[in-house]
C-alpha cells in the first residue's frame, strides 16, 4: 500500500462525475480520470469513489478505468449488497469502505449499523478480504459500533464527521469528545482510524487533531474549491493543512 504521510488524504471525485452525468451521461466531460491525475499532482495519496446502486454519479466504466490506471490506492465506497461485492471482487480496489445507502438521500446521512447488519456483512467482508482487499466501515463515532466493527474483522473504521461539522457550541464539543473516545478504542483494538464527510478547510485543521487519525477522505468541498482555484490547487492546499 502506498503511503507517504502520517495522515493521508483521499480525494473523493464523485462530484466530477455528477457534473458529467447531469445531462444524462451525454457528455464525456469533465473527465474523471484527468481530475484524478490533477488530485494526485496536488498531493492526494488515495482516490475515493462511491459506486452507488442508482449510478447517480460514478459509473461502472469509471471503476473499470481506475482499477487499471489509478496511480495511487483506490478506495471503493459501496453498499453491502451481493451485487456490489461481486463488482468489488472483480475489480479489486485496494480498499472497500462499506457505507449505508438510501436511494432517496442527497448524500450519506449517517453511519453504518454494523450491529444490525452483522450476520449479512460478515461473509461479505471475509470474501473481500480473501481477495486481498482491505475493509473500512463508515460508522458513527459510537463505542458499540466500534466494537462490532472489530468483531466483524474490519481493518479500519471511518468516522462520519458530517454531524460534527454542522453542530455548533456545546453540541459540537460533545461530538468531538465522542470521536476522541471512539478513536482511542478503535486504535486499542488494532484498527486504523479514518474520518470523512463534510470536511472543509476549517474543519480539516481541527480533524487532524483527532488521536490516531491515519486518513481523511474529502470530496464535495474540494470539488467546490476547485471551481474557484482549480482542483490541483485546492487539493494542494488541503494537503498542506492535513500535513502541517
Q: Catalytic residue positions?
A: 50, 77, 197
> What's the length of the chain?
244
Strand-pairing partners, residue 118, are: none
Task: Please check whether residue 125 is in contact with residue 154, taking contact to mean a CB–CB distance below 8 angstroms.
Answer: yes
Task: Please check whether residue 136 is in contact with residue 157, taking contact to mean a CB–CB distance below 8 angstroms.
Answer: yes
Cell of 93: 480496489
Question: Under DSSP, is residue 192 helix (H, G, I), strand (E, B) or coil?
Answer: strand
CA-to-CA distance for 86 and 91, rounded, in angstroms? 9
Residue with cell 500500500: 1
157 exposed, middle or buried (CB, 10 Å; 0-12, 13-18, 19+)?
buried
Amino acid at each position: 500500500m502506498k503511503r507517504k504521510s502520517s495522515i493521508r488524504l483521499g480525494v473523493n471525485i464523485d462530484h466530477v462525475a455528477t457534473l458529467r452525468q447531469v445531462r444524462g451521461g451525454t457528455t464525456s466531460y469533465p473527465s474523471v480520470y484527468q481530475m484524478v491525475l490533477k488530485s494526485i499532482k496536488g498531493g492526494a495519496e488515495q482516490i475515493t469513489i462511491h459506486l452507488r446502486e442508482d449510478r447517480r454519479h460514478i459509473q461502472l466504466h469509471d471503476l473499470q478505468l481506475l482499477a487499471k490506471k489509478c496511480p495511487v490506492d483506490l478506495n471503493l465506497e459501496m453498499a453491502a449488497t451481493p451485487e456490489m461485492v461481486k463488482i468489488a471482487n472483480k475489480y479489486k480496489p485496494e480498499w472497500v469502505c462499506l457505507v449505508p445507502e438510501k436511494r432517496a438521500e442527497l448524500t450519506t446521512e449517517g453511519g453504518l449499523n454494523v450491529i444490525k447488519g452483522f450476520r449479512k456483512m460478515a461473509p461479505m467482508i471475509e470474501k473481500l478480504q480473501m481477495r486481498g482487499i482491505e475493509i473500512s466501515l463508515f460508522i458513527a463515532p459510537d463505542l458499540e459500533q466500534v466494537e462490532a466493527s472489530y468483531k466483524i474483522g474490519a481493518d479500519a473504521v471511518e468516522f462520519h464527521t458530517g454531524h460534527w461539522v454542522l453542530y455548533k457550541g456545546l453540541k459540537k464539543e460533545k461530538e468531538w469528545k465522542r470521536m476522541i473516545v471512539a478513536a482511542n478504542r478503535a486504535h486499542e483494538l488494532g484498527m486504523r482510524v479514518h474520518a470523512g464527510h463534510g470536511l472543509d478547510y476549517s474543519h480539516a485543521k481541527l480533524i487532524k487533531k483527532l488521536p490516531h487519525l491515519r486518513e481523511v477522505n474529502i470530496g464535495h468541498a474540494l470539488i467546490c474549491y476547485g471551481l474557484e482555484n482549480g482542483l490541483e490547487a485546492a487539493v494542494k492546499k488541503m494537503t498542506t493543512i492535513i500535513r502541517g
